[in-house]
Structures are given as C-alpha cells and as structure tokens.
Chains A and B, each alone.
Chain A
Amino acid sequence: MAVELALQAEGLGKAYRRYASNLGRLVELATLGRAERSQPFWALRGVDLEVARGAALGLVGANGAGKSTLLRVLAGTTHPSEGRYRVAGRAAGLLELGAGFHLDFTGRENIALAGMLLGHPRRELRRKEAEILAFAELDEFADQPVRTYSTGMGMRLGFAVATAFDPDVLIVDEVFAVGDMYFQKKCVDRLLAFRAAGGTLLLCSHSLYDVRQMCDEAVWLDGGRVAAAGTSVDVTNEYAAFQREHIEGLARSAPAAARPDAPRVVDARLYAAGTDEEVDEVEPGRSVELRVWYENPTPETTPVHVGLGVLRQDQTLCFGVGTHLDGVDVPGRTGCAVLSLPELPLLSGTFQLLVVLFDGSGVHRYQEHLLARPLVVRSRTKELGLVRVPHAWSVRAGADAPALPASSRSPTGSSTGSSTGSSTGSSTGSPGPATGAAPQPAEGGGAGTS
C-alpha cells in the first residue's frame, strides 16, 4: 500500500467483564483466569480501521455505541480484548479536558504536572508554558489555584495542554462540544491548524457538522460494530437518516437477502429531465426526474407503490409524494417508475432523497432507499426559505390602490385591539394610531432577514 498509515486497527474488540458476584471475581483471579466466572460485555467488536497520515477520521454513533471505548483503546488507556492496532508516532489522547488537574495547585503547576504525566520533560514544558497560557487566555490567572477557575477556564487550559505538544496522532473525544461558542471556535481552529500541519486526527463527535467539516472520512459505530464507513459526508448522511428513522420509531427494512420474495428497490437515481445525465447539484427551477427500478416477484399478491420523500438536513420533510397518493399503478415483476419534477421549486440547501417502497395500501414500507448522494441546490437569487413559491408583485399607488377594508378603517374596542394591531402590522404597515408599537417588530423582523 502506497499510503503511509498513521493508524491501523484489525478486528479490534473490547469486552468488559461482568461478574455475577465478587466471589466469582476472586475465583477467576485466583486461578489466573482459567476458571472463568465472568460474562463478557462487548463494547466494541471487529473494528477495522486504516487512517492515512495527515487524514482525519470522524466517529459517529449513538451513546453507548463504542466510540469512546474505541478512542480509549487507541489512545492506550485501556487494552483491547481482541484484535490489534498500531499507531505510527506519538499519539495524544484528549479524552477528558483537565484529567489530571489538581484543584489546589496553580495553573502553572498544573501545566507542569499534566505535561509530565504525558511524558514530557520539564524543559520542554517551560518552553511551551507561555504558549499554553496564551491559548488558554489565562496569563493573569497562571498563579491562581485551578480551584478558582471557571469551568470554561479549566477547559481551555485542558485543551491547550493536551494539544500543545505536537503529537503525530491526536485522539479527541467530544471534548470541545461543552464549551461556549468562542471556545469551540478556538478549539476547531486549533484542530484545523493541527491538520494543516500534517497531523492525523481521530475525532468523535455528536455534531455531524463538525465531523463533516473536520474529517475526510468517517465511521459510524452501532452497538460496538462498524455500521458504515466511507467519506464523512456519506457516513454522516447515512447516520442522520438512521437517526431520523430511529426517532420516528420506524423499523429499518430487513435486508433483501433475508426475504428473497419481498419486493425491493433495485436502484434509484436522479437525472436531468428527459436525459441520461445524472445530477446531484442543480439550480432552483431545473427540471429533474427520478427513476426508481423495482423488483416485485409476486405482483399479484403483493402490489407495491413507490414514494419519494425529500428531506432537508435538519430532517424537515420538504415534500413527500407517492404513486398511491396520485392513484398510479406500479405493475409487473420488474419495472422503473419515473417521477418527473418539473422546475424544482427548492431553494439553496442539501436535500436527502428517500425512496420508499410501500405495500398496496401505502402503509407498510417494504424498503427505504436513500439515494447515495444528497441533492445540492444552489440558488443564484436572494430568495429566502426552503421553497420557491410561484409569485408575482403588482403595486398601485394612490387612488388606484384597492380600498382599505371597512374593519381597518374604523377603530375597534380595546379588547380586540391587539389582534387588529398585529394584522395591520403584518400587512403593509399602515400607521394605526391605536397600535403604534405593533408595526415596529414586524419591520424589525423584516430588516433582519433581508
């Protein structure tokens, strides 16, 4: 392999031992493990990783999926139970900010202690001290006990110490997600600078955005195993799609192999309308068509319908259509359903296209198929929002303007004053004397969005 690997893992697994009783623990220890009394709990299993020097790998997954365990194993604080790994060069694990700090000692003393704990000689620490204090913005407080620091100050110091020593591989466990925006930005900048200098990064985060921004590749861990691996965009999309299903309480369709007779989506792709040119990036108003190739071994007993859901990245469903909703049949053992979307009305954004194969009633889902690439819409206009609604303006001044409704012309009682006020405020903002304050917030909101 031509690529130089900074980090490599083969079949890595970690089992924690669970004992029914403390006596069992003693028996197992006394027999040097020959009389096994523990139940292994596999927090991690069968993980293969290859990270090239200078690359960045993101880890995503639910709580308890094994992300932290994997990072701990790779950082060398806990030992693997099966498989093996290796790290080329010096690895620094940033598993918890401020691990090893002593509250009674000053910031300066803690820098020295933590640095020595990480194996750095004292003279190197003296050289780095000023840089660490500068990054943590703690110059004034360097000789105060850490006990007197705010949470944010402690975190800054921890992050500064751990990243100060130019490791070859930096292993970061979700540590900067806790700070304020300013701190997060500093941390992200520092990690990006670390990468720019050729460092290898292993990052675990619940922020899919961070993973996408900082990592080229990503691994999705689920139940201690690799559920998906690939480019960070693909993996985070897949994970986000899974999360959405999970939240909605939908069972993911069983793999086709498990039920060979079940109808399935063979493939689904997006084309420029009427052509064989595949697209994944369009301007608003472009005409596209979705082709869904399906297989249905038993069309007589299991009629199917095809649907499409278009989701923004925050999982907002922009629109959903289906053959069952439009009264279209999906016949035959094999075929291709083509959905034309003339003049796509979406505005800028990245959208996931989720193809769903329904049963004849349109309730049960045989399969959900996420298009491999999300659809990116790049708008050139300055319209705001999610969709482009067909619209037209006409403005008439003076006597040509449509007459003001009677209800707005005569002032009403104070009990309905506020509702009247807000309705006038949201219109063209005619100066109603009784509700003089109402138009102001509406105008302020308008100014903010334009």
Chain B
Amino acid sequence: MRHSVELTLGRLAVRQFLGSRRSLWALVLAAIPVLLALLLQAEAGGDPREALDDIAGLYQVLIVAVLLPIVALVVGTSVFGAEVDDGTITYVLGKPVPRWRIVLTRIVAAGLVTAAVLVPSTLATAVIGVRGVDAPGLALGFTAAVAVGSFLYCALFVALSLSTRRALVAGLVYVVVWEGLLSNTFGGSRALSIRQYTLSIADALVEAKMNTLSRLDVDTALVMAAVVAILATVHAIRRLRVFEIGEAA
C-alpha cells in the first residue's frame, strides 16, 4: 500500500512494453545465444579448453556487446518514449508525485524487464556451454554481470530518452561507435563504457581461468559504474522536472 505509486508506475511501464511488438523482438534476440551455444557444444566435441573459449566468445561478443545494449536500448527508451509518442504521458505527469520517484521507478522497471529477458538466456547459454567442464561460478558470474549491466544501460537510455527525441539513434551511436569502435582503439574510453564494466564484473566473479574478458580492473569498473548510474539518474530527474508537453506531443 505504501508503495502503490511505484507499483502502479512500474506495472504501467511493464504492461506497455509487453503489449508492444518490441517485446517479441526482445524474446527472439534472447533466443539466439542459447541456440548458438547448443551448436557450439555439439562441435566442441568435449574439449574443455575449447568449450570455455567458445562460451567466453559468445558471452563477450554476442551477449554483452550486442544483445544487452540492444535490449536495454529498446526497453529503456520505451518506458517514457511510448507514452510521450501517444500523449498518455500526461496521465503520469499530471499527478502530485515527485519526479524523482517517477524516474527511479521507470529505470528500475526497465532494468527488471531487460534482466528478465536476458538473465534466463545468459544462464541457459552458460549452462549449456560449460556442460562437462569444470568452470566454477561461470554461469552465475556471467548472469549476475548481465543483470547489473541491464540496470546500468537502462539508467543511461532512460536519461537519453528524456534528453532527445532521437534517443534510439543516439543510443545506437553510443553502443556502436563509442563502446564498439573507440574502446578498441583508445583505451581511455574503456573507463566510460558500460560494456567494459559488465565484462569486468563477470571477470571478477568467474573463478575459471579464461581468456581475459575485460581490460578494466574491477574496482575501477564498480566505481565508474556507480558514477555513471547516479549521473544518468540525476540527469533524467532534472530533465523530467522541466519536461514540456506541447501541442505536438
């Protein structure tokens, strides 16, 4: 009862997403790594070293680099975006609810949805990939890191969706250009990359020896992740406070 405002806001965001076609695409995307893991497992033929490399590759190249940011982008930009587009945002904003509560609820809701899509997929991929291989903590470590990454990306993309009408494009540019191209070329940009935070957290949690996933040490990653999450949230709250709904909206 005490949190019925948050529950109502969150449920609205989740229902909005589930009712859209975006949710189907998210599920299709989430199925890809599981299918690939099954294929690779069949090919690896029982070599534990090869199986570990395969699963690390799937995780690093597909799940964290592509699926996580894309699903988070789709979900994160829709928690406000869909309502702004059809004008129903007035029903949420025309309430005596402090704006920070609305923003926090929506970021958490987006993070939960993103994690709900990716966690089962990551877990299944890891479990299939390391079947018969001694890899303590791998499945859990990968999955926990993806869950953390879900919330980080969502905080960023929710802030983005309140800052620009072209949030989807801006988000893609961040993921592809900044995290993809630049952090391979310039090491410095890794300190501002959610992908690197996620990989670094996974690294720290997995005890098995693997090809190093991240080149960012975990302490830096955790501190930077917290900074990015807080800055994005604060920015989103400030944007929502002065969010204008004109005749066009």
Chains A and B form a bound pair? no
Binding site for B on A (CB under 8 A): none
